[in-house]
Chain A
């Protein structure tokens, strides 16, 4: 019996972890290509969850449709955020950019409280209460959906960066912005594109994971902290690292919460980043490049 409980915790952790991965991939892309540590990244997760809520409850559109609408809408907002908050500071010190992202995060979180109210919301999906039995394990369809969509998106992102023209332009910009510009790449466009793409991924994560918990305007803080923990574990700028880091964090939290205590669960992630940053500041999976 004991092994079943353990396996159940691992599967639940895996679902949470895949949600973290979607957040972290965007965070790591934005760092890799734009050199921005984006403190506001979690707020796009929050927006994704809120948009899904409003599209399903007010417009009455099916959950899967709402998922797509929320992702695209938040990506569009990402273009504006980049234009107004990061583009003017492109040449500034990283300190200034970090502060600007903090300002944006506060603006979005408090703006959400103003617009959407402080009362918690619950995103309804028809998958949240339906379960699937896999041998002795019981998994909700929502969790399976998170895992499946996340896997598809990560494989897609990987393929996109590797093989498409835009992806190659992103790689070039990440490696050397001046060199990329010299070869005729519009780096400003690549930056905007990458930022919007990352925001879309965060929104998708919010739309997928949002229904598993209560939704408030402060959820972005939570999301960005998880994102940071994962990205620090995996190494800033590494997508593979984000994948492993996210899964590892999800499972570690699930086991810690199940076997030790729920309060302790929140502290696990912070303890992990402290240990990782001190032991291997470049991350567990980093190949060592990518530092300025």
Chain B
């Protein structure tokens, strides 16, 4: 990052840091924390969906693994909560390594089905391994992050926001660094044309595995933040509902970009609350939003901005964006 982009990025971080002070409303601050955590998760799925070009239907399982790892480490073995997200990332990444090592040999719809199978097995195991996970009851009273005597749970949303934001900025930096590196360009080459990528010496399988492990590790860290913040986790975190939620964020926001998943998470979190009164209809709206984006706006909401700018720069009507 040099020059203008660097200034823009710093300005964006500054704005995000000031944001919780613009409102004294604890609920809005709570929403900001949720946004930061979901944005981190969406960002991690985006590495697989947007950069590697494979659809994973099992991503929520790694989110769940992270949440359970960090909660159990803190509660059973007294591991400091601040270490939780990092250890959760290591464990989720290790699961990602094993599952990716097996699953990434397959591509396309079969890969999606395979990840669905792995996700469902992890969900089932979490549900039935009652001795470790307490089964469908879930784990409650998870210790929160703390700063000295202050516990950073949902009563301290403003402080927790900075923890989540720090992880989010870290996640963004990882994505940015990855995509501007040689490895990131390999990701895109593999997405666009695996055979051609292989012909110029890119190891397609290892490239994909690398991306998959980074993505699962980040989502593990996100899971840990989620667990220590809300202090209750259940196996539902690994269910298809969360898989769908993450996919909606990435696709509606705009896959293959860094800003897209952030916007997608914002749309998701705000609609989730704004439509709370609508009951079951709320999920219908999300589904409609996903479908509408897939059919009419394949680039997601970020592509609207790009389209607008292109139109301003080129006076004559240009063709459909590539």
Partner-B contacts on A (CB < 8 A): 37, 85, 88-89, 94-96, 98-100, 102-107, 110-111, 113-114, 118, 221, 225, 228-229, 232, 236, 263-264, 266-267, 270-271, 273-274, 277-278, 281
Contacts and interface: CB of A to CB of B under 8 A. Distances in A.
B177 interface: no
A103 B287 contact: yes
B125 A94 contact: no
A95 B112 CA distance: 9
Contacts of B138: none
Nearest to B250: A99
Which of B121, B244, B294 has most A Cβ within 10 Å? B294
B240 interface: yes
B103 to A, nearest CB: 8
Interface residues of B, number: 37
B37 interface: no
Contacts of B110: 232, 236, 277, 281
Interface of B: 53, 55, 102, 105-106, 108-110, 112-114, 116-118, 120-121, 124-125, 127-128, 240, 244, 247, 251, 279-281, 283-284, 286-288, 290-291, 294-295, 298
A277 B117 CA distance: 11
B294 A99 contact: yes
Nearest to B130: A263
B284 A110 contact: yes
At the interface, is chain B mostly helix, strand, loop or mixed? helix
Contacts of A106: 244, 283, 286-287, 290
Nearest to B127: A263
7 contacts: A37-B113, A95-B55, A100-B294, A102-B244, A104-B287, A273-B113, A278-B105
A61 B2 CA distance: 73
Residue in A96, A99, A228 whose Cβ sees the most chain B Cβ within 10 Å: A99
B281 A114 contact: yes
A281 B113 CA distance: 12
A100 B113 CA distance: 15
Given A94-B108, A232-B110, A267-B125, A88 B284 contact: no
A149 to B, nearest CB: 28
Contact of A98 (B109, B117, B128, B288): B109
